[in-house]
Structure 1
Amino acid sequence: MRVDNNTKWNGNYDVIVLGFGGAGGTAARFAADNGAKVLLVDAAPYGHEGGNTRYSAQHVAMAHDKKKITEYYHELAAPYAISKETMDTYLNGFVNMPQYFEKYLGIKPFIWSQDYKVGDHLANKAHLCEYPEYKGSDTFDFALVHNRDFDAGLWKAIRKEVLERKDKIDIWLNSKAENLLQAKGNNQVIGVIVERNHRKYYLHANNGVILATGGFENNAHMQQDYLHVTKLTPLGTLYNQGDGIRMAEEVGAKIWHMSNYESLGIVPSYVIAEKDGQRGRQIGGWKNMKSGSIFAVANDGTRFMREDVKFRHGHIYEHGDYVLPHAYDNAWIIFDQKQYQRFLEEKQTGKLKYQKLFEKMVKADSITILANKTNLPAENLENTVKEFNHFAENGKDIKFGRAPETLEKFDNGPFYAIKLAPAVLNTQGGPEHDKQARVLDTNNKAIPHLFSAGELGGMCVNRYQGGGNLAECLIFGKIAGERAANSEATHEDVKLVAAVPSINDLVNTNQERQIKLGPDQYLGSSETGIGGKIVVRVTYANDKIKQVEVIENHETEGIGAVAVKKLPQEIVSANSTNVDAVSGASTTTNALEEAVNNAIKKAKR
């Protein structure tokens, strides 16, 4: 959108960063360190900011040998063309990642490498490196904040760095960037329109705007247009709507890597179907989904994959390449009573980490009735069961090659089905940037004062290696922040009208002072949960925990929310915070226990 010198601005900053995930948080921090007054904007509400960085495994790609990692990444990209200069900058960051952690995060990283021992055994290098058959793969390792993962450890470290610069960084959450603003007569980006509390704000940027809004995994139209699928269930943030792509296109940016997306799943690239607007559940284990009298079928009632195959971010081997299974709209897991009993045993022993599994099951006395209930062709489904039973009897799956020990003949009923949904971890496409994180136009020229970092226009052109996106959040986030802060400032007259005050939604959401306390009641809080802050009100007297109320929490839907609901009563019943962690929610459990302990400490003063 073009604006002129008569524009009535509501705010003026040196650098505006759109998106508060790993890339945006990093960019804002380094822009501030280079003297810029920064505005950091995110569409998510408090406790849900963080993009996919918050939900990721926290593994950051690194390498020890530049030549080898270059060979590896060129093989990952083949046969497609890449920007060699930009890739070279990216891979230099891999080699320097341990120093980055120590210098900029103040953390000596835990290096998860081929020399890392799991019990008495060396870790399987193939588990770290997704394509160990490629040249140079043996130099690849992961850097972690500590010897734990899936706990938002890296995200918390980035968030902490941003909070420590609150005098230089304003933060607007639950605020949606709508349009980039360009100067009349040239292509320079000079600001952005942000909608906040149903009002539009025109915000000026003296030195630059950084796009770090992530991908388009929650935008159904973009999924259809770029990925040729009708619906994908997100495993990460719910707030990546493709806004950065749309805004970049409006100012003439060149777009790349739009057909790439990554996945995970309980079977390759599929998770259990959820309601619209809910995240999918990526939970480890699930042996009983892949072994026994059970298989997956597509719309036509026939099998379409090897259910037990190892996959590489959702990609499975097919005719010489690794590809994502087709995203079918009506896919199901089909199983019999024996398999149902195995799921029931998992639940009874506490090993089942998905509490709603049994609510998702469709039951029928015959395959024909089950087919009708699941909108599958009955004849095809019946033939699929017969075919699978034949494979099980002969110990050979001639259709997909599933391991013989995982094949078990179906009984005569009853039968069950669970709806599957194709899943998306993240997308890679967006505006192309150069080695200086500058967004390029369709003529390969840098658009003045516009930068990007992270998954928005990520470096992955073909096969994805885990940890690569987090690495580019750190690498290009730093470059974007520094470059934007040091760009030559604009000199147009900035007329502020109804100027907004300095706002920091990370700081201003602290509601503890407003919580009323009765006799023997004490507040406790913890910042260590996946969602950030947990605040509890504990009633404590005569060395007894009488009540635990969770006043504020921002934990993730599903597992984290289950822990928040379940644990308070268990703590009261045990009169102790030493209770078993909710399966799959150890981080939330630890945070809640810490908050209660902090409240008890106040009671004992």
Structure 2
Amino acid sequence: MKRFVSLALALALILLACVYAQAEELPIFEHSVDWDAEYDVIVVGLGAAGASTAITAAEAGANVLVLEKAPEGHAGGNSAVCMQWAAMVDDKEQAMTYMKSMREDFETPTDEMIDVYISEVMNNEQWLTDLGAPNVTRHEWVEFPDMEGAGSIFLLTVDGNLGFSQAGLKPSGALYKFLKDKVESFENVTVWYEAPATHLVQDKNTRIVHGVEAEIDGEPVLVRAKDGVVLCCGGYESNARMLEDFNDVHDSPSLANAIYNTGDGIMMALEAGARLWHMSNIVGPNTGYRFDSDAMTFGASAGKGMLVGGDGAVYKSVGRSGHGKMLFYGNYTLALYPQRTFAIYDANSVGVQPIHHSFSEGNAWEIEHGFYTIADTIEELAEAIDVPAETLVASVEEFNAAAEYPIEEGPFYSIPISHCVGNTQGGPERGLGGEIIALDGTPIPHLYEAGELGDVWSHCYQASCNIGGGMAYGRISGTNAAAPKTDNWDGSVMEEKTPYTYVIEEPEFEVGENQYLGRGEGKGQVPMVVRVTVAEGDITDVEILEDWETPGFADRAKEETIAQIIETDQAVVDVISGATMTSVGIMSAVADALSNID
């Protein structure tokens, strides 16, 4: 019997040794992937949240790669062109009360997450100051004055941006530009532009996210992240199908022309097993004039004209709204607008005031360039814009009964006032530490998020909290992603391998006789290149060879600024109202070109 037991024990030990030997021979997951490069942390997206994440991870000593989908001139998404407001809090208790009020009866964010969020937002002012941001300034702003705690979340701007002013909305991109420049100042941060992330590289057995697959020049590039991946790639404002499926919104382009915000982070997180939250919550619909390029003005009103819906009836707002939420019989709901809306004028009212601060005096340039539909009678105008003539005639009569500028004298004018989406708030569910949450309620290892992707806002939203909250959760997620991990292989996968070489080919511009190149900075302080032709001391032509201005929005500024420069033979001329940065960019580029004349 003893001999039999000894034999059985020996066989068991041999079998166990074989199992261990096989286990040692099994490949480590990191070795099963043919990696092209390796970093400690990968940040997907270079908006305000991505920049804050990269800065924080870099300051923690991590070697950081930022993958930005857009070309450099369009980088930043909403962060580059929004109002440049960052949230700040002094009174934590009141701010938490206000945020709970904005939540109304929704279950999320939890009180614990509100505590974490507000606590970190309270650090925004000192953080910007410590980074060296110029002229960090406080401003008051209350989104929902009827809610308890209102006024406890206020605004920060940098570099002289005044937020709302009597001159209207004039964002300069100052805060985003500062954060982007700060990212690029770190030696341990690398930025790849035109490098969209397409998939996460995940071990399905352990659920650990080990890296990212990016697409560069049409080819896949696999990059390992030793310690963490942070998704900061914004929402899905430019994904028409998602807007229809999740929000019952149709034909509403991105307010900020954030054409690269197509929900990539949502799709990647779903592949990794994430669950979603806040998908029904969007900032919008907003209204504005929609250019042929789908770019939108920020806000537009009928001014002294009449606003009608697609049925020709006078459109009347049914409640006060704040960032896309409308007070409706005691509760806030998504703001309601007709799918088709038109502003109607006659010959006397059309030029009284521009419908938007970017439009010309008396709307003259826009009328000349076909922005308005023009007809001799109201009936003909109704036919031209495809609304019932009988209803439109009745609406004019109703409007005229109390109008300061009645619609009486032809020709008659109409301009469409379109819907647009400011931004979306939904995405992968977020944990307290920025972790992305799986379907079973546990964190997906090594995967984090910050910014508008899966943001904490389930219902009402306070202006400044997307950038301000993106900065806050960028610091939280950046810190946690950069922390060394112990559940994966800590060696390098690039030994005896040549890392992928990322190269952007700079455009080359030709110049002929008496032609000179110049460079300036346009909207968002993004580079602009012009070619100036000079003949016998006179400026005869100015060509814009490269710019990143919003299509449609900047057309008048380009045309009129160049015309003034040629007419006056001077680089510095009057700026075009509503497109100041475009005008300044052209002027500075022309001045630079003229400085190259011997």
- TM normalised by structure 1 equals 0.83
Q: Which residue of 2 aligns with 1:530?
A: 524
Instruction: Name the residue aligned to 2:5.
Output: none
Q: Which residue in the other structure is 2:212 paired with? A: 192
Q: Which runs of 5+ in 1 are unaligned?
A: 114-127, 393-405
Q: Is the 8 A contact 1:263 1:425 kept in 2?
A: yes
Distance change in 2, residues 1:338/1:383 (3 Å) = same
Picking from 342, 345, 365, the partner of 2:352 is 342
Residue identity matched to 1:75: S
Aligned partner letter, 2:155: F
Which residue does the alignment assign to 1:272?
A: 289
Q: Secondary structure at the match of 2:182?
A: helix
Asked if structure 2 preserves the Cα contact closer than 8 Å seen for 1:5 and 1:492, the reply is no
SS at match of 2:352: helix
Residue in structure 2 matched with residue 139 of structure 1 by the alignment:
152
2:261 aligns with 240
Looking at structure 1, the residues matched to 70 and 359 of structure 2 have their Cα atoms a distance apart, in angstroms, of 37
- Cα offsets for 1:155-207 (capped at 9, x unmatched): 11011111112x32222222222111211411111112212211122222111
User: 1:378, CA displacement in angstroms?
Assistant: 3.4
- Residues 530 and 556 in structure 1, CA contact (< 8 A), matched pair in contact too: no
CA distance in 2, matches of 1:229, 1:442: 27
**Do 2:523 and 2:549's aligned partners in 1 also have CA atoms closer than 8 Å?**
yes
Which one is further off, 154-163 or 538-547?
A: 538-547
- Give the match's secondary structure for 1:416: strand
How big is the shift at 1:386? 3.5
Aligned match for 2:127, one of 100, 103, 121? 100
User: SS in structure 2 opposite 1:577?
Assistant: coil
What are the equivalent positions in structure 2 for 1:90-489 lying under 5 Å apart?
90-113=117-140, 128-148=141-161, 149=163, 150-165=171-186, 167-236=187-256, 237-263=258-284, 269-275=286-292, 278-282=294-298, 289-297=301-309, 299-306=310-317, 311-342=321-352, 350-351=360-361, 355-356=365-366, 359-390=370-401, 392=402, 408-411=405-408, 413-488=410-485
Counterpart contact for 1:346–1:352, Cα < 8 Å: no
Shift in alpha-carbon separation, 1:282–1:448, aligned structure 2, 3 A:
same
| C-alpha distance 411-340 of structure 1, shift in aligned 2 (>3 A) | same
8 Å contact 2:305–2:343 — kept in the other structure?
Answer: no
Deviation at 1:324, TM superposition (A): 3.8
Tell me how large the CA RMSD over aligned residues is: 3.2
CA distance in structure 2 between the aligned counterparts of 1:66 and 1:348, rounded to whole angstroms: 39
Q: Match for 1:278: what amino acid?
A: D
**Per-residue Cα deviation, 1:408-457 (whole angstroms, up to 9, x for no partner):** 54326543332232111111111121231111112321110001000111
Q: 1:549 to 1:32 in 2, by over 3 A?
A: same
Q: 1:311 to 1:198 in 2, by over 3 A?
A: same
Q: Give the secondary-structure state (helix, strand or coil) at the position aligned to 2:417.
A: strand
| Distance verdict in 2 for CA 1:346–1:421, change over 3 Å | closer
Give the corresponding residue for 1:46: 72
The separation in 1 between residues aligned to 2:587 and 2:384, in whole angstroms, is: 44
8 Å contact 1:47–1:531 — kept in the other structure?
no
Question: Which secondary structure state, in structure 1, belongs to the residue aligned with residue 582 of structure 2?
Answer: helix
Q: What's the offset of the Cα at 1:53? A: 0.5
Q: Is the 8 A contact 2:235 2:262 kept in 1?
A: yes
Work out whether residues 523 and 599 of structure 1, in 8 Å CA contact, stay in contact via their aligned partners in 2. yes
Q: 1:477 to 1:601 in 2, by over 3 A?
A: same
> Contact (CA 8 Å) 2:357, 2:578: kept in 1 or not?
no
Q: State how far apart, in whole Å, the 1-side matches of 2:445 and 2:466 are.
A: 25
Measured after TM superposition, the shift of residue 104 of structure 1 is: 2.3
CA distance in 1, matches of 2:121, 2:406: 48
Structure 2 counterpart SS, 1:410: coil
The corresponding residue for 1:491 is 489
**8 Å contact 2:565–2:571 — kept in the other structure?**
yes
Give 1:249 shift. Answer: 1.5
What displacement does 1:57 show?
Answer: 0.7
Which of 83, 92, 114 aligns to 1:87? It is 114
8 Å CA contact 2:347–2:412 kept in 1: the answer is yes
Distance 1:338 1:55 in 2: 35
Q: Distance in 2 between matches of 1:52 and 1:9?
A: 32
Q: Distance between the aligned counterparts of 1:345 and 1:377, measured in 2? A: 24
Gaps of 5+ in 2: 1-27, 164-170
Contact 2:307 2:315 in 1 (8 A): no
Identity of aligned residues (%): 29
| SS of equivalent residue, structure 2 residue 420 | strand
- In structure 2, relative to structure 1, the CA distance for the partners of 1:545 and 1:158 (3 Å cut) is same
d(CA) in 2 for partners of 1:106 and 1:340?
A: 43
2:46 touches 2:233 (CA, 8 Å); kept in 1?
A: yes
Residue of structure 2 equivalent to 1:576: 570
Aligned to 1:122: none
Report the AA paired with residue 139 of structure 1: S
C-alpha distance in 2, partners of 1:40/1:515? 29
Q: Distance in 2 between matches of 1:331 and 1:571?
A: 38
Q: Secondary structure at the match of 2:73?
A: coil
* Greater Cα radius of gyration, structure 1 or 2: 2
SS in 1 for 2:58: helix
The change in CA–CA distance for 1:9 and 1:146 in structure 2 (over 3 A counts) is same
Do 2:235 and 2:427's aligned partners in 1 also have CA atoms closer than 8 Å? Answer: yes
1:72 aligned onto 2:93: no
1:545–1:199 Cα change, 3 Å: same
Q: Is the 8 A contact 1:170 1:502 kept in 2?
A: no
2:559 and 2:410 map into 1 onto residues whose CA distance is 36
Q: Secondary structure at the match of 1:16?
A: strand
Aligned residue number for residue 18 of structure 2:
none
